Amino acid sequence: MSHLFPTYARWDITPVKAKGSYLTAKDGKEYLDFTSGISVCNLGHAPDNVKTAVEEQLNQFWHTSNLFQIELQEEVAKQLADASGLDLVFFGNSGAEANEAAIKLARKSTGRTKVITFVDSFHGRTFATMAATGQDKIKIGFGPMLESFEYITMNDLDSLTAALDDNTAAIMFEVIQGEGGINEGNAEFLKKAEELAHQNGSLVIIDEIQTGIGRTGKPFAFQHIGLNPDIVSVAKGIASGFPLGAIIGKASLAEAFSAGSHGSTFGGNPVALAAAKETLNTIFDESFLADVTQKGEQLHSLLEEALKEQPIFKKLKGRGLMVGIELNEEAGPFLAKAREHNLLILTAGTHVIRLLPPLTATEAEIQTAVNVITNILTN
Ligand SMILES: Cc1ncc(COP(=O)(O)O)c(C=O)c1O
């Protein structure tokens, strides 16, 4: 018997090796991996420069504690601040922890309690982030929920104005909802939402855990729209698979996170930071990001061309290399079919096939994935 809690509906694949865009299973089968560890291995599996940096750090030290000056924390914080236009960073170990920190910081700095989030959002599995998540299925059996979260409909300004009040600490959202179905907030709505929140004295928290670190062709998805968030949360792709999460916030919030107010034993671990420094160095480069944009356009146009006449196909969603293929039927069964053709893909929501290829995928790999997807959707 397995001694693991059955929290995951696992695939029948046991990885023994993963390098670049490919994952090899115990039975010898090699898969083209368009899941990237769910938007984590953005440079492909085990990139050499990250591996070298991690090895070098292991030869120096790998844990002291946050009582020490950790130079790598300062360096990676500067990379994140420079790329986002924000000022200060707190490091944790995961996306949920980053969002927890964001919610705590918003409450303490405003002295207010309510956080407005969006229907179909996903922000994590801890108590605050589960309450923040706008999907009931995540919460079944775990109640009562943490209070003071309210959910509005994306792209509906009336529901936002009705929810904003003088107890609203923050609005919090994903620019493109990942788990919820690759749902994009429209630029006009998000800009107006930000303006109304700021006028109301509320903060704007943007969850870039899935969309950030180059996934959409910019360091952060909010930069496509020119938003001005107070706090941005990141995790997943930040350290190429080493556990690291972070919030990046405005300098004006510093007082609320004074010494002793928040912390994490493992947060900002030097090995994870060595991986992050190399990862961000590579991804936050203009020509790298331009390449992501170009490959995203290639993937979108190949899919559109191959699927536009097919009755099962509804529409394409997403940006850059975060792509949703919305179907007229449930997407789940197509994942196993893709695996039969050695391609790994995901779903988002019930009717969307989600593609999160490594940002380093080649044009040939993109073409292969499109061929398999076209084949399984049309035969
Ligand atoms: C947008 C978003 N926020 C938060 C999380 C939670 O991150 P983690 O699983 O690292 O806690 C996820 C994970 O899928 C996510 O996609």
Answer whether residue 249 shows pLDDT above 90.
yes
> Closest residue (by CA) to atom 7 of ligand 1?
95
Q: In what order do the strands lie in the sheet with 30-33?
A: 15-19, 22-25, 30-33, 343-344
303-334 in b/e form (b: 16+ CB < 10 A) is beebbeeeeebbebbbbbbbbbbbbeeebeeb
Confidence of residue 379 (pLDDT cuts 50, 70, 90): confident
Atom from ligand 1 closest to the CA of residue 208: 1
Which pLDDT tens digit goes with each residue over 152-185?
999 999 999 999 999 999 999 999 999 999 999 9
What percent of the chain has pLDDT above 90? 100
What value does the mean pLDDT of the chain take? 98
Question: CA-to-CA distance for 286 and 274, rounded, in angstroms?
Answer: 21
Q: 310 CA to middle of ligand 1, Å?
A: 33
Question: CA-to-CA distance for 317 and 314, rounded, in angstroms?
Answer: 10
Residues in contact with 379: Cβ distance below 8 Å, sequence separation at least 6, in sequence order: none
Q: 258 CA to middle of ligand 1, Å?
A: 26
Per-residue pLDDT, averaged over 318-328, amounts to 98
Confidence of residue 238 (pLDDT cuts 50, 70, 90): very high
Q: What are phi and psi of 231, to 5 degrees?
A: -140, 135
Q: 122 CA to middle of ligand 1, Å?
A: 7
* pLDDT (0 to 100) of residue 292: 98
> For the chain, what is the radius of gyration of the CA atoms?
20
Q: Pocket residues for ligand 1 (CB within 6 Å)?
A: 94-96, 99, 122-124, 174, 178-179, 207, 209-210, 235
Q: 308 CA to middle of ligand 1, Å?
A: 31
Strands 15-19, 203-207: parallel, antiparallel or unpaired by DSSP? unpaired
Q: 36 CA to middle of ligand 1, Å?
A: 14
- CATH number 3.40.640.10 is the correct assignment for the domain at 49-283: yes
Task: Enter the pTM of the model.
Answer: 0.98
Atom from ligand 1 closest to the CA of residue 99: 4
Token pair recorded at residue 31: 């898969």
Which pLDDT tens digit goes with each residue over 179-231?
999 999 999 999 999 999 999 999 999 999 999 999 999 999 999 999 999 99
Question: CA-to-CA distance for 111 and 168, rounded, in angstroms?
Answer: 9
Which pLDDT tens digit goes with each residue over 53-65?
999 999 999 999 9
Atom from ligand 1 closest to the CA of residue 94: 10
**Ligand 1 test: best mutation among 7, 209, 211, 233, most atoms within 8 Å of CB?**
209
* pLDDT (0 to 100) of residue 53: 98
Which H or E run includes 344?
A: strand 343-344
**Ligand 1 test: best mutation among 210, 322, 356, most atoms within 8 Å of CB?**
210
Three-state DSSP string of 69-138: CCHHHHHHHHHHHHHHCCCEEEEECCHHHHHHHHHHHHHHHHCCCEEEEECCCCCCCCHHHHHHCCCHHH
**Ligand 1 test: best mutation among 123, 133, 322, most atoms within 8 Å of CB?**
123
> Closest residue (by CA) to atom 3 of ligand 1?
123
- CATH number 3.40.50.1820 is the correct assignment for the domain at 15-47+286-378: no
Q: 7 CA to middle of ligand 1, Å?
A: 16
Which H or E run includes 158?
A: helix 157-163
| Beta partners for residue 246, in sequence order | 91, 234
Pick from 326, 228, 220, 264: which is nearest to 126 by CA?
264
Token pair recorded at residue 76: 């990676």
Answer whether residue 361 shows pLDDT above 90.
yes
Domain segments of the chain as ranges: 15-47+286-378, 49-283
CB 65, CB 265: distance < 8 Å = yes
CB 267, CB 93: distance < 8 Å = yes
Longest dimension (CA), the chain: 61
Q: 205 CA to middle of ligand 1, Å?
A: 14
Pick from 22, 91, 112: which is nearest to 249 by CA?
91
Q: What are phi and psi of 116, to 5 degrees?
A: -95, 125
